[in-house]
Amino acid sequence: MNGILPVSKPQGMSSYDVIRFLQKAIPTLQKHKIGHGGTLDPLAEGVLLLLIGEATKLFDFILEHNKTYEVWIQFGSATTTDDADGEIYATSPIIPSPDQVREVISHFTGHLSQIPPAYSALKVKGKRAYELAREGKQPNLQPREVEIFSHEILSYDQQNRILHTRVLCSSGTYIRSLARDIGNALGCYGHVARLIRTQTLGITLEQCADISRLTETNWTEFLLPMRTVVTLPSLEIKEASWILQGRKLSPHAFCNPPEYDGMYQIVKDEKLLAIGEWKEGRFFYKRVFHA
């Protein structure tokens, strides 16, 4: 059984907690390799793509894609983790006005440089940043270039100082850093109070299964073909067996020969067979997918 299982991750569980939960609830899943297509913090909710069987080979090809989030930012306090799970270490009585919020948000679009949260999985000299932070050390994290394609204010509760926005961003964007930096720009601190990933790779929250309702008899109803998350241009091969045989592929092997060098997915009858690079008149395999 191979494919993409989109689930709605509940708050309080790590991405791997979800996998362990489903393996216990659905014994069949214990027989398959399972991975996920992008970590969500325990505080976060929303779209989590589980890669089942041969789909685990897609990991390297689906990470670098845009994602959409809804985030609730609590102004007035800074926390050690830049979200509500951390300890508050600084507070501010400042209450930003709606006009101030709109002005600052307008500057948090486009290309941004952000420093990841101290509590992150990034490695610093071979050690996870969160491990250093737990030891009371300040990890030396370098700024990262990210892009915010759109940033829409959905509501602002001025009395309680909670801003609700929708963010479409590049892969690698830390929403916790975004919340922290917006709060700092307003002079009042800020951290993530709630976070929902609503879209990744074109798969929306509405398409995701509630993990508490998945059973041995219904989980395959939510399974999507591997091709669903592959955005590379496709080449239709004339004979599927040529892929499994590892044949060298010339332009004549395809119903639609490649027009330029680059990465492609090879398909037959809508089924994903391989991913690789077309270069100098030859196809170089990167991944081959077995039935």
38 vs 59: CA distance, rounded Å: 9
245 burial type by CB count under 10 A (0-12 exposed, 13-18 middle, 19+ buried): exposed
Helix (H, G, I), strand (E, B) or coil at 245: coil
Cβ-proximal residues to 108 (8 Å cutoff; 6+ apart), any chain: 148, 151, 178, 181, 182, 185
Token output for 289: 């997918």
CA distances from 281 to 95, 226, 235, 260, 288 (A): 62, 27, 14, 9, 19
- Angle in degrees, 0-180, between the axes of helices 98-106 and 175-185, rounded to the nearest 10: 130
3-class SS of residue 91: strand
Cα 247 from Cα 233, distance rounded (Å): 21
Amino acid identity of 21? F
Question: Which residues neighbour 221 within 8 Å (Cβ) at sequence distance 6 or greater?
Answer: none
Antiparallel, parallel or unpaired: β 144-157 and 127-128: unpaired
Active-site residue flag, 41: yes
- Among residues 177, 159, 115, which one has the least CA distance to residue 167? 177
| Angle 64-180-42 from CA coordinates, rounded to 5° | 60
The catalytically annotated residue of 41, 82, 83, 181 is 41
Active site (catalytic) residues: 41
